[in-house]
Structure 1
Amino acid sequence: MWLLAPNKKFIKQYKLLSSDLQKRIDLALDELVRSENPIKLGEYKSSLKVHAYNLDKSNRIIYTVDFSNNTIELRRVGTHKQAYGKD
Protein backbone atom coordinates (compact mmCIF):
# COMPACT_ATOMS: atom_id res chain seq x y z
CA MET A 1 0.00 0.00 0.00
CA TRP A 2 1.21 3.49 -0.88
CA LEU A 3 1.26 6.68 1.17
CA LEU A 4 -0.11 9.93 -0.25
CA ALA A 5 1.95 13.10 0.06
CA PRO A 6 -0.01 16.09 -1.30
CA ASN A 7 1.89 19.35 -1.72
CA LYS A 8 0.43 22.78 -0.88
CA LYS A 9 -0.62 23.48 -4.49
CA PHE A 10 -2.56 20.20 -4.67
CA ILE A 11 -4.37 20.90 -1.39
CA LYS A 12 -5.27 24.45 -2.46
CA GLN A 13 -6.60 23.29 -5.85
CA TYR A 14 -8.50 20.37 -4.29
CA LYS A 15 -10.35 22.64 -1.85
CA LEU A 16 -11.58 24.85 -4.70
CA LEU A 17 -13.21 21.96 -6.61
CA SER A 18 -16.87 20.92 -6.38
CA SER A 19 -17.79 18.29 -3.81
CA ASP A 20 -18.80 15.91 -6.62
CA LEU A 21 -15.39 16.20 -8.25
CA GLN A 22 -13.68 15.85 -4.86
CA LYS A 23 -15.50 12.53 -4.34
CA ARG A 24 -14.32 11.28 -7.74
CA ILE A 25 -10.77 12.36 -6.89
CA ASP A 26 -10.97 10.53 -3.57
CA LEU A 27 -11.98 7.33 -5.40
CA ALA A 28 -9.11 7.75 -7.86
CA LEU A 29 -6.64 8.33 -5.02
CA ASP A 30 -7.91 5.18 -3.31
CA GLU A 31 -7.25 3.27 -6.54
CA LEU A 32 -3.72 4.69 -6.73
CA VAL A 33 -2.99 3.81 -3.08
CA ARG A 34 -4.18 0.21 -3.54
CA SER A 35 -2.36 -0.28 -6.84
CA GLU A 36 0.74 -2.47 -7.02
CA ASN A 37 2.35 0.04 -9.38
CA PRO A 38 0.67 3.47 -9.50
CA ILE A 39 2.67 4.62 -12.52
CA LYS A 40 0.73 2.14 -14.66
CA LEU A 41 -2.52 4.00 -13.91
CA GLY A 42 -1.30 7.33 -15.24
CA GLU A 43 0.11 8.60 -18.49
CA TYR A 44 3.76 9.69 -18.29
CA LYS A 45 4.39 13.32 -19.27
CA SER A 46 8.08 13.43 -20.22
CA SER A 47 8.30 17.22 -20.48
CA LEU A 48 7.28 17.59 -16.81
CA LYS A 49 8.59 14.20 -15.57
CA VAL A 50 5.23 13.43 -13.91
CA HIS A 51 2.29 11.07 -14.40
CA ALA A 52 -1.25 12.23 -15.15
CA TYR A 53 -4.25 10.21 -13.98
CA ASN A 54 -7.22 11.21 -16.15
CA LEU A 55 -10.44 11.46 -14.14
CA ASP A 56 -12.50 12.35 -17.20
CA LYS A 57 -12.10 14.28 -20.43
CA SER A 58 -11.05 17.51 -18.74
CA ASN A 59 -9.86 16.74 -15.18
CA ARG A 60 -6.69 15.03 -14.04
CA ILE A 61 -4.40 14.34 -11.09
CA ILE A 62 -0.69 15.09 -11.56
CA TYR A 63 1.65 12.97 -9.43
CA THR A 64 5.08 11.42 -9.09
CA VAL A 65 6.01 8.15 -7.42
CA ASP A 66 8.84 7.65 -4.93
CA PHE A 67 9.49 3.91 -4.86
CA SER A 68 12.14 4.14 -2.13
CA ASN A 69 9.61 5.59 0.35
CA ASN A 70 6.46 3.96 -1.10
CA THR A 71 5.00 7.44 -1.58
CA ILE A 72 2.77 9.01 -4.21
CA GLU A 73 3.56 12.72 -4.33
CA LEU A 74 0.44 14.62 -5.41
CA ARG A 75 1.42 17.76 -7.34
CA ARG A 76 -1.72 19.27 -8.92
CA VAL A 77 -5.38 18.49 -9.60
CA GLY A 78 -8.15 19.94 -11.74
CA THR A 79 -8.72 20.92 -15.35
CA HIS A 80 -5.97 20.81 -17.94
CA LYS A 81 -5.17 24.48 -17.35
CA GLN A 82 -5.12 24.05 -13.56
CA ALA A 83 -3.02 20.90 -13.75
CA TYR A 84 -0.46 22.05 -16.29
CA GLY A 85 -0.73 25.83 -15.93
CA LYS A 86 -1.57 26.25 -19.63
CA ASP A 87 -4.30 25.45 -22.18
Structure 2
Amino acid sequence: MSRNPKKWDFTKPEDFRSQVLKLLPSLRPKLTEVMTALSESENPIASHKKKITPHGEFYTERLNDDYRLSFNVDFKNRRIIIIRVGAHKSVYGKK
Protein backbone atom coordinates (compact mmCIF):
# COMPACT_ATOMS: atom_id res chain seq x y z
CA MET A 1 0.00 0.00 0.00
CA SER A 2 1.58 3.28 -1.05
CA ARG A 3 1.03 6.48 0.83
CA ASN A 4 0.02 9.72 -0.79
CA PRO A 5 2.92 12.10 -1.26
CA LYS A 6 3.13 14.97 1.17
CA LYS A 7 1.84 18.14 -0.47
CA TRP A 8 2.26 20.58 2.43
CA ASP A 9 5.02 21.24 4.97
CA PHE A 10 4.50 22.43 8.54
CA THR A 11 5.74 25.39 10.52
CA LYS A 12 5.34 24.70 14.23
CA PRO A 13 5.60 27.03 17.23
CA GLU A 14 8.73 26.76 19.37
CA ASP A 15 6.73 25.20 22.20
CA PHE A 16 4.94 22.66 19.97
CA ARG A 17 6.65 19.69 21.65
CA SER A 18 5.57 20.83 25.11
CA GLN A 19 2.02 21.39 23.82
CA VAL A 20 1.94 17.82 22.47
CA LEU A 21 3.33 16.42 25.72
CA LYS A 22 0.44 18.09 27.59
CA LEU A 23 -2.09 16.18 25.47
CA LEU A 24 -3.59 13.00 26.78
CA PRO A 25 -1.39 10.17 25.46
CA SER A 26 -4.47 8.67 23.80
CA LEU A 27 -4.83 11.83 21.64
CA ARG A 28 -1.32 11.79 20.18
CA PRO A 29 -2.13 9.21 17.46
CA LYS A 30 -5.17 11.31 16.48
CA LEU A 31 -2.95 14.40 16.21
CA THR A 32 -0.58 12.46 13.93
CA GLU A 33 -3.54 11.28 11.83
CA VAL A 34 -4.92 14.83 11.51
CA MET A 35 -1.55 16.34 10.59
CA THR A 36 -0.91 13.60 8.02
CA ALA A 37 -4.31 14.17 6.44
CA LEU A 38 -3.71 17.94 6.29
CA SER A 39 -0.25 17.50 4.74
CA GLU A 40 -1.59 15.14 2.05
CA SER A 41 -4.70 17.14 1.14
CA GLU A 42 -5.09 19.26 -1.97
CA ASN A 43 -6.54 22.12 0.09
CA PRO A 44 -6.17 21.85 3.88
CA ILE A 45 -8.88 24.43 4.56
CA ALA A 46 -11.51 23.07 2.16
CA SER A 47 -13.66 21.60 4.94
CA HIS A 48 -12.85 24.18 7.64
CA LYS A 49 -14.41 27.49 8.62
CA LYS A 50 -12.22 30.37 9.71
CA LYS A 51 -12.52 31.10 13.43
CA ILE A 52 -12.26 34.69 14.59
CA THR A 53 -11.12 35.05 18.19
CA PRO A 54 -9.43 37.66 20.39
CA HIS A 55 -6.16 35.85 19.55
CA GLY A 56 -6.59 36.17 15.80
CA GLU A 57 -8.10 34.33 12.85
CA PHE A 58 -7.33 30.68 12.19
CA TYR A 59 -8.76 27.30 11.26
CA THR A 60 -9.21 24.42 13.67
CA GLU A 61 -9.33 20.66 13.48
CA ARG A 62 -11.06 18.76 16.22
CA LEU A 63 -9.05 16.05 18.01
CA ASN A 64 -11.94 15.16 20.35
CA ASP A 65 -14.69 17.03 22.19
CA ASP A 66 -12.19 18.99 24.29
CA TYR A 67 -9.02 19.34 22.20
CA ARG A 68 -8.24 21.20 18.97
CA LEU A 69 -5.41 21.89 16.56
CA SER A 70 -5.40 25.48 15.29
CA PHE A 71 -3.60 26.46 12.11
CA ASN A 72 -3.33 28.85 9.19
CA VAL A 73 -2.23 28.15 5.63
CA ASP A 74 0.41 29.88 3.52
CA PHE A 75 -0.69 28.89 0.01
CA LYS A 76 2.23 30.61 -1.72
CA ASN A 77 4.83 28.52 0.14
CA ARG A 78 2.57 25.47 0.64
CA ARG A 79 2.97 25.56 4.41
CA ILE A 80 0.53 24.77 7.18
CA ILE A 81 1.34 27.02 10.13
CA ILE A 82 0.45 25.34 13.41
CA ILE A 83 -0.66 27.91 15.95
CA ARG A 84 -1.57 25.77 18.93
CA VAL A 85 -2.63 22.30 19.95
CA GLY A 86 -4.45 21.91 23.23
CA ALA A 87 -7.63 22.18 25.19
CA HIS A 88 -10.52 24.02 23.56
CA LYS A 89 -10.21 26.97 25.96
CA SER A 90 -6.48 27.46 25.40
CA VAL A 91 -6.80 27.21 21.60
CA TYR A 92 -9.64 29.72 21.44
CA GLY A 93 -8.14 32.00 24.09
CA LYS A 94 -11.01 31.70 26.54
CA LYS A 95 -10.57 31.81 30.28
- Quote the residue 1:45 is aligned against: 51
- Quote the residue 2:32 is aligned against: 26
The number of residue pairs the alignment matches comes to 87
1:59-74 to structure 2, matched below 5 A, reads: 59-74=67-82
Structure 1 residue identity aligned to 2:13: N
Relative to the length of structure 1, the TM-score reads: 0.87
From 36, 55, 58, the equivalent of 2:63 is 55
Report sequence identity in percent. 31
Provide the C-alpha distance between the structure 2 equivalents of 1:24 and 1:33, rounded to a whole number of angstroms: 14
1:26-45, Cα deviation, whole Å (9 max, x unpaired): 10000100110001243311
- Quote the residue 1:10 is aligned against: 16
Structure 1 residue identity aligned to 2:69: I
- For structure 1, the 5+ residue unaligned runs are none
- For structure 2, the 5+ residue unaligned runs are 1-6
Larger Rg: 2
Greater helix proportion: 1
Show structure 1 runs of 4+ deviating over 3 A.
none
- Quote the residue 1:82 is aligned against: 90
RMSD of aligned alpha carbons: 1.5
